[in-house]
Structure 1
C-alpha cells in the first residue's frame, strides 16, 4: 500500500504546524507528535489521518540507517493505521533506539500510543 497525497504530510508548513501546535508522546524508539486537523468538507479524504516521517542524521545516522528507520515507521503505520483516530496529523520522528529494538516491540509501542491517542479529547489546530 502506497501513501497517497491525502495520506501524508507533504509541506513544511504542515510539519511545522503539527510540531508547534500539536502534542508529543515519547515512545522510546520514536517520538509521536500529533495534532487534530479540522475537517474540510471540500477535501476528497475527509477525516482521514495523515502521516509524516522524520529521521535525522544526528539521531539515526547515515543514509542507510535513516532510510531503514523511515521504512520501519511507514510499515508500522501501514499495519496499524486503523488504530489512528480519523482527522489527525501524525509526525513520527525516529530515535536511535528504533534500529536496535525488535519490530514487534516497536509495533506494540505504536499500538499503545494510538490507544492513548484515541482516548484523549481532540485539540483543534489554531491555524484553521
Structure 2
C-alpha cells in the first residue's frame, strides 16, 4: 500500500503536475510526471490518482483506485526524488485487468521518466 506520506493530496500540486509535467497517454490511463528542480521541499516521490465518474460507479472507481495505488507503491522506488506523479484513469480502466493496468503504468512511466544521458 502507498503510505500517506507519499500521496499527493493538494489540488495545487495536482494542477501543477497536469499542466507542467510530462504526459503519456494510453487506452486505460494517462500518466503525468513532474520532476521539479532539486530545490524542491519534498524528499520522497508523491503520487495522486484521478478516477472520475466516467470510469463507473463508486464501487468500480474505488476498485480502480486501490489497484492503481498498489501498482504505484511497487514502482515508487523507480521515480526520482522530489517527483510528483498523477495517474488519471480512463473509462476503459474499469474493465482492464490488474496485469493490463500494470503494463500500461510501466509503459507510461517509461515514456515520462527523464532518460539518462549515454556515458
CA contact (8 A) 1:83 1:111 kept: no
Secondary structure at the aligned position of 2:113 is classed as: helix
Secondary structure at the aligned position of 2:80 is classed as: coil
Number of matched pairs: 116
Identify the match of residue 53 of structure 1 among 32, 49, 53. 49
TM-score, normalisation: structure 2:
0.83
CA–CA separation in structure 2 for the residues paired with 1:73 and 1:97: 14
Identify the range of structure 1 (75-84 vs 112-121) with the bigger mean alpha-carbon deviation: 112-121
TM-score, normalisation: structure 1:
0.78
CA–CA separation in structure 2 for the residues paired with 1:83 and 1:27: 20
CA contact (8 A) 1:83 1:115 kept: no
Runs of 4+ in 1 over 4 A off after TM superposition: none
Structure 1: gaps (5+ residues): 122-128
Q: CA RMSD in A?
A: 2.0
CA–CA separation in structure 2 for the residues paired with 1:4 and 1:22: 22
1:1-128 to structure 2, matched below 5 A, reads 1-5=1-5, 7-40=6-39, 43=41, 46=43, 48-57=44-53, 59-120=54-115
Structure 2: gaps (5+ residues): none
User: Structure 1 residues 118 and 19, CA, compared in 2 at 3 Å: closer, same or farther?
Assistant: closer
